[in-house]
Amino acid sequence: MKTDLKPFPEPLGTHDRSTNNLIRRYRALKKESMNPLGLNDQQLQKMKTQPGFVAALDQSGGSTPKALAAYGIKQGAWSNEDEMFAIVHQMRTRIITSPRFTGDRILAAILFENTMDRDIQEQPTADYLWNVKQIIPFLKVDKGLAEEKNGVQLMKPMPQLSTLLKRAKAKRIFGTKMRSVINQADAAGIKQIVNQQFEVVVQILAAGLVPIIEPEVDIRCPEKARAEEFLKSAMLEKLDKLPDAQQVLLKLTLPEEDDFYADCVGHPKVVRVLALSGGYSRDEANSRLCRNHNVVASFSRALVEGLSAQQSDTEFNTLLDATIRSVFDASTVKQPSAK
């Protein structure tokens, strides 16, 4: 059957039903051909190609009191968890709505579930990020870490993951993030970490979301470089087995050897490699990052370092701008590696 459709000058409704259906089909095809990329494609293209970095604003219940204390709000300022999350949402809202926090330098923001479920300026947080700031929304989906075994901490079970992924998709979240931790250079334990991450990846991709895999190597790991060797080998093996149409992001601790993850950066199944600050100061994290080519930041604590509830808006925005500029520069202006 020939599918090349000719223009129809007559208005819809002056023909029989089959001709009207053909006109509708022609107009739909014409509109589709003139449309820009769909939302997910726009966001994926931005994630792949635009200079910038990812803001990690995903502190969960366990880490929130520490984040609020660093922001100048002591633990007695709330009487229950709901009040605590309301306060931390105020902090995140102040960051996100800052005129310095824009999609020109920030590619994406990783949100905690509670933040996804709240609004910013009368829009759902994910919609505000994209519609107002042109920043891609991601969601933290793990439920924390299990006890250490074989030198690693796997993710706790996620029995409600399927429901959460459906909610995330309905709220126009682009992708997800899940974190495990490597404390020792134990090859078997590290393989368990990678296996678990990629098992969950299958479910996330099937839900139409793009996963960030975060197997963090603790910067205090006694044989950190060796742990990184085990990790890279295990990840590359899994990446090679992903179907062609499936892609992921990797979020990794800044390595001991500059450009150590170059094989991951260049892998066809990897959208982008992100670096976590992992306890390094912002200056140290930036120094390491700028020597790792085509790797961009995904900082949490290092991004908000120095920000305070007691600062005026001018002081707050000035410091946030300086921080964003330094992290953006370390993500985009690279120095020769120390090899």
Measured distance CA(240)–CA(69) in Å, rounded: 43
For the stretch 3-46, pLDDT in tens is 444 443 444 454 455 555 555 554 554 444 444 557 789 999 99
pLDDT for position 302: 87
Catalytic-role residue among 133, 177, 191, 251: 251
pLDDT mean over 306-335: 96
Paired strand residues for 213: 178, 250
pLDDT for position 10: 44
Give me the phi and psi of 299, to 5 degrees please.
-95, 145
pLDDT mean over 278-290: 94
Catalytic-role residue among 177, 214, 224, 229: 214
Specify the fold of 39-332: TIM Barrel (3.20.20)
Cα distances from 316 to residues 91, 100, 181, 204, in angstroms, run 11, 10, 32, 36
pLDDT for position 22: 52
With bands split at pLDDT 50, 70 and 90, how would you rate the model's confidence at 67?
Answer: confident
pLDDT surpassing 60 at residue 218? yes
Residue-averaged pLDDT of the chain: 90
Clarify whether 169 is annotated catalytic.
no
pLDDT for position 37: 58
pLDDT mean over 170-174: 97
Clarify whether 214 is annotated catalytic.
yes
As given in the structure block, the two tokens for residue 70 are: 């660093």
> Any alpha helices (H) in 171-271, and if so which ranges?
187-206, 224-241, 262-265
Distance of CA 210 to the CA centre of its chain: 9
pLDDT mean over 136-160: 97
Paired strand residues for 137: 109
State the sign of the Cα–Cα–Cα–Cα dihedral 327, 328, 330, 331.
positive
Q: Which long-range contacts (CB under 8 A, 24 or more apart) does 23-26 make?
A: none
All residues at 6 or more sequence positions from 231 whose CB lies less than 8 Å from its CB, including other chains: 182, 190, 193, 194, 215, 217, 252
pLDDT mean over 242-264: 96
pLDDT mean over 117-140: 97
Q: Are the CB atoms for 52 and 107 separated by under 8 Å?
A: yes
pLDDT for position 70: 87
Choice between 6 and 106, residue whose per-residue pLDDT is larger? 106
Q: Are the CB atoms for 227 and 184 separated by under 8 Å?
A: yes
For the stretch 322-339, pLDDT in tens is 999 999 999 999 999 876
Q: Domain ranges for the chain, please list them.
A: 1-35, 39-332
